[in-house]
Structure 1
Amino acid sequence: MEQQEEENGKCNICYCVCCKKIFPQRILLQIMLVFCTTIMYSHRVCISMAIVHMTNWVDNSTIEVVCTRSKVNTSVKFEINDIQFDWDESIQSYILLSFYIGYVIGNTFIGFLIDKFGGRWCLFIGSLMSSVMTLIVPLLAYNMHWAVLCVSRAIAGLGQTPLTACTSSLISRWFLEDKKSGAVTVVLTTYTLGVIIGNVASGFIMEWTKTWCFVFYFFGTIGVIWNVIFFFYGYSYPQVHPHITQKELKLLEVIPKPAEMKIPLWRILSDVSVWMFFIGFMGSDFTLYLIITNMPKYFVSVLGLDTSLTGAVLMGPPVAGVLGGIVFGFTSNWIIKKKYMKKLTFRMICSVIGLPISSACLLVMVYTRCHVVMACVLVCLSMF
C-alpha cells in the first residue's frame, strides 16, 4: 500500500499526518513531546492564576501591607461572575501544595513502570490523568469539599511524574547517540513556554469570559486532545510503529536495546554523590516551583496587579531562566575548554553560588513593598 501511494504520488490527509512524506517519525515524536511538556506545565500554573479569583476571603490582619491599585497604577479589577469560595490562605496553600505531594510520590517508582510498560503508555496515562483532573476542577470545587480538590491536584501531580523520565526514555530509543542530548534539551526547555502560556492565557481568559472555570476547561481540553493524537501516533519503539518507513527504521536499528539488569538500589541509596545531586536538584527545583506556583498570587493579592497584567509580567522569570542557562552554558564550555578550571570544580562552584544568590533575590523582594518593577527584576534575577 505504501509503495503504491508513493508510486502514484498521492498524499491524502491521513497519509501526510502520518508524516511519511513530511517528517520522519522521530521528529514527529519530538514535536508531540514538546507540546506535551508545554501543556503539562500550563496545567501546573493555571490554578495559581485562577485561585486568586476562586476565593473571596480577605485577611484583615495583613491588609495594611497589601498594595492598593492607586499605588501601582493598574487598571480596575474586573468582576468574576462565578461563585467564589471562602477559602483562607491555609486552604489555598494546601490546594496549591497538593500537586507536588503527588509529584514527589510518583517519582519514587515511575522509572520501574517505564522499564516494564514502556514510555508510551506511562506518558499517555499520566498526561491523561493530569488533563482530566484539570478539566474537572470546577466540578469538584462547586460540589465537593476543598479536600477533594486537593486529592484531585495530587492525582494531577502523580500524572505529571512520567514527563521527564518518559521523555528521556523515548528519545533514547528514537534518536541516534549524537542527537539524543539535543533532542532532550529541546523538549524539556519548552517548560518555559508552558509557564508563559499558562500564566498569560489564564489571565486573558478570565478577563475576557469573566469566569475562572474556562481556564480549566481550556487547558484540560487541550490536554485531552493531545492524548488522542499521541495514542495513535506515539510509540515506545521504532520497531512497533505502523507508519515508520523502512529507510528510517534501518537508520534507527543501530540504537542498542536497553539491557536488562538488576538495579543496585542499596548502592544507589548509600552513594554520597547521589545524595549531593539530590540536594542540589531539590534546591534548584524548589526555587523554580516556588516562583511558578506562588508568584501569580503574590503579584495579584499583594502587589495589586490585575490578572492579565500579572500573566504578562510573569513571562520574565522563565525567559530569564532560559537565558541564564544559555549564558552559563557557553561560559562553562569556554572555561573548561581553556582549562582555567576543571569541569567538576566549576559545576560545584556554580551550584554553591547560584542557589544562595537566587534565594537572596527572593528574600529581598519581600522588602520591596509596593515597588512592582523592583519585584519583577528580583524574581527574574532569581531565575537567571
Structure 2
Amino acid sequence: MSDSEKCETELVSKPVKRLGVRHVQYVLLFLATVIGYGMRTNLSEGIVAITATDKDKPSPDIKTYPEWKDYKNTMLSSFFWGYVCLQIGAGQIAKKFGPKLSLTLAIAVSSSFSILLPILADVIGYQGVIICRVFQGLSQGFLYPSFHHLLSVWAPNSERSKVISFVYTGGPLGNVISLQLTGFIADSTLGWPVVFYIYGGLGLTWSVVYFIYGSNSPSQIKNISESEKKFIESETCGESKNIPTPWKAIFTSSPLLAITIGHAGNNWGFWTLLTEIPSYLKSIFDYKLKTVALLDALAYFAMWTLGFVFSPIADHFITKKVFSIGATRKIMNSIGLFIPAAALVALAFLPKEQGTLAIVLLVVAVGINSATFCGYNVNHIDISPNHAGVLMGITNSVSNVCSILAPLAIDGIRAMTGYDEEDKALWTIVFCLSSGIYVVSGLYFNIFASGEIQPWNSEDYLSKKKEQKESNS
C-alpha cells in the first residue's frame, strides 16, 4: 500500500472544537514569519535613511552615511550570501535534532545581530552592516526548512493550503509592518537605529515563548486532545520518521526540479520588487520617504490579504476533487506568476506622468503573487512529506541565488547601459527582465510539476533499491 493510499484509508473526522492546539502552533509559526521577514526587509527601506545626506535626515543627532550610497545594493544583497549557505544542511539538522530547536535558535541569532547592526555600522563601517546581514542570513536559512518540517506533521491535508498560506503570508504582512515602521521611525527624530533594536527585542521575546509552547509534532505535546491528534495524524500519515535521505533520487527528481525552477523564478521577481520599489517610486515619481513606505506597504498588504482568498479556493479544489492536487498547484502557480508578469510589462512602458497607475500595477504585481503560496511553495509536502524540510532547503538555497543576483543585476544593467535610477529606461529593462523570468519559470513548473507522493518518500525506499541492486548483480 502506498503512502498516499494509506493516508486516504485512515481518515478521521475533524474535531468539533474549532480551535485546537494545532492552531496555537500555526499562530506561533505565523509570528515567526512576520518577525523574520521584518528583520529581513527593514534594510530595504532603512538604507534610504542610513545613506541620507545631512539636509535629508530628520535630526542632526542621527548618524547617517551618505558615502555608502555606492554600496547600497551590496548591503541589500549580503543577507542572501549567508542565507543560501546552510539551507540544505539546515533541513538535515532540523530533521535530525528537531525543527523546534533549530527554529528557536534561528530567530534568536537573527535578532541578536539586528541589535548589533547599528553598533557595528558605527564601529566598522558599511562592512559592519554586511557582517550582521550575512549572519542574519545564515540563521534565517533555518526558517523555511524548519517550517516545512513542522507543517508536514501539523497541517492536515484538508487544511494544508490554508495553513501554509496563513503561515507564509506572515512574510508579506511582515513586510507591510516593517516598511511602515521603518519609514515612520527613520523619518522621525528617533532615528533609523531604533528599528533594528525593536526587531531584535521582538525576535528574542518570540524565541522564549516558542521554546516554551512550541512542539515538534502532535505526539510530543501534552495538552492536545486525542481526537485532534488522531485527525492530524490521519491526514499527515503521522509523524514523519527520521529516515535516511535518498539524495540521488531527490536530486534526479523531475518534480523537485520543477519546484526549484518555480521557486527561483518567483524569488527573482519578488526580491527585485521588494528591494527596488522604494528607489523606483522615489527616483521616478519623486515620492517622499513616508509616502514610499505607505505605498510599498500597500502592495504587501494586498499580498497578505489575497493569500486568504486563494488558499481556501485551493483547498476547495482538492477536498471536493474539482482538480487533482497537481493541477491545483499548477493553476495557483500560474495565477501567481503570469498575472504579475503582465503587470510588470505594463509598468515597464508606463509614462512618468502616470504615478497613480504605477501604484495600481505594483499592487497587482505584488498582491496576486500570493497565489504561489498554494503553488510551488506547498508542493514539497505534496510530493514528499517525510523529506519536506530537506526539499525546502534545497529549493530555497538554489532559488535564493536569484535573491542575491536580482538587486546586483540592476547594478550590472546600470554599468552596461549608463542609465541611473532616475532614468525610466533602466526600470523598463528591469521590469521586462523580471516579467520574462516569471513566465519561463511558470511554464516549466506547469509542464513538469506533480502532486503525487514520490516513491523515494517511502520509509523503505533505500532498502528496496539495495535489494533490487543485489538481486540484479
The reply on whether 1:314 has 2:289 as its aligned counterpart is: no
Q: Give the match for residue 116 of structure 1.
A: 96
Q: Give the match for residue 29 of structure 2.
A: 33
The reply on whether 1:178 has 2:191 as its aligned counterpart is: no
2:64 to 68, 77, 84: 84
The correspondence of residues 89-104 of structure 1 with structure 2, limited to 5 A, is 89-104=69-84
Against the structure 1 CA distance between its residues 299 and 190, is the aligned structure 2 distance closer, same or farther, given a 3 Å change threshold?
same
Q: Give the C-alpha shift of residue 304 in structure 1.
A: 3.0
Give per-residue Cα distances to partners, 1:309-333, cap 9 Å, x unaligned. Answer: 2221112322343566636985995
1 CA distance for matches of 2:131 and 2:47? 16
Q: Give the C-alpha shift of residue 245 in structure 1.
A: 5.9
1 CA distance for matches of 2:58 and 2:182? 14
Against the structure 1 CA distance between its residues 176 and 320, is the aligned structure 2 distance closer, same or farther, given a 3 Å change threshold?
closer
Alignment RMSD (CA, Å): 3.5
Q: Give the C-alpha shift of residue 273 in structure 1.
A: 3.8
Q: Secondary structure of the residue that 1:105 maps to in structure 2?
A: coil
1 CA distance for matches of 2:221 and 2:359? 47
2 CA distance for matches of 1:213 and 1:252? 44
Q: Secondary structure of the residue that 1:235 maps to in structure 2?
A: coil
Against the structure 1 CA distance between its residues 84 and 109, is the aligned structure 2 distance closer, same or farther, given a 3 Å change threshold?
same
1 CA distance for matches of 2:144 and 2:296? 23
The residue type equivalent to 1:256 in the other structure is G
Q: Give the C-alpha shift of residue 369 in structure 1.
A: 3.3
Q: Which runs of 5+ in 1 are unaligned?
A: 1-21, 59-75
The reply on whether 1:375 has 2:355 as its aligned counterpart is: no
2 CA distance for matches of 1:348 and 1:213? 38
Give per-residue Cα distances to partners, 1:99-137, cap 9 Å, x unaligned. Answer: 122222232322111111111011111111221111211
Q: Give the C-alpha shift of residue 176 in structure 1.
A: 3.9
Give per-residue Cα distances to partners, 1:298-352, cap 9 Å, x unaligned. Answer: 3345533222222211123223435666369859959x9499xx66875686577
Give per-residue Cα distances to partners, 1:225-259, cap 9 Å, x unaligned. Answer: 11111111112133433555667556666552313
Q: Which runs of 5+ in 2 are unaligned?
A: 1-17, 369-473
Q: Give the C-alpha shift of residue 370 in structure 1.
A: 6.0
The residue type equivalent to 2:107 in the other structure is S
2 CA distance for matches of 1:324 and 1:338? 21
2:287 to 275, 287, 305: 305
Q: Give the match for residue 214 of structure 2.
A: 234
Conserved in 2, the CA contact under 8 Å of 1:164 and 1:188?
no
Q: Give the match for residue 276 of structure 1.
A: 258
Conserved in 1, the CA contact under 8 Å of 2:232 and 2:238?
no
Conserved in 2, the CA contact under 8 Å of 1:48 and 1:297?
no
Conserved in 2, the CA contact under 8 Å of 1:167 and 1:184?
no
Q: Give the match for residue 363 of structure 1.
A: 348
2 CA distance for matches of 1:284 and 1:193? 18
Q: Secondary structure of the residue that 2:66 maps to in structure 1?
A: coil
The reply on whether 1:262 has 2:259 as its aligned counterpart is: no
Deviation >6 Å, runs of 4+: none
Conserved in 1, the CA contact under 8 Å of 2:49 and 2:57?
no
1 CA distance for matches of 2:32 and 2:333? 32
Task: Provide the TM-score with structure 2 as the length reference.
Answer: 0.63
Q: Give the C-alpha shift of residue 145 in structure 1.
A: 3.1
The correspondence of residues 161-176 of structure 1 with structure 2, limited to 5 A, is 161-176=141-156
The reply on whether 1:48 has 2:33 as its aligned counterpart is: no
1 CA distance for matches of 2:286 and 2:57? 9
The residue type equivalent to 1:269 in the other structure is F
1 CA distance for matches of 2:303 and 2:346? 14
Task: Provide the TM-score with structure 1 as the length reference.
Answer: 0.76
Conserved in 1, the CA contact under 8 Å of 2:86 and 2:141?
yes
**Equivalent pairs: percent with the same residue?**
22
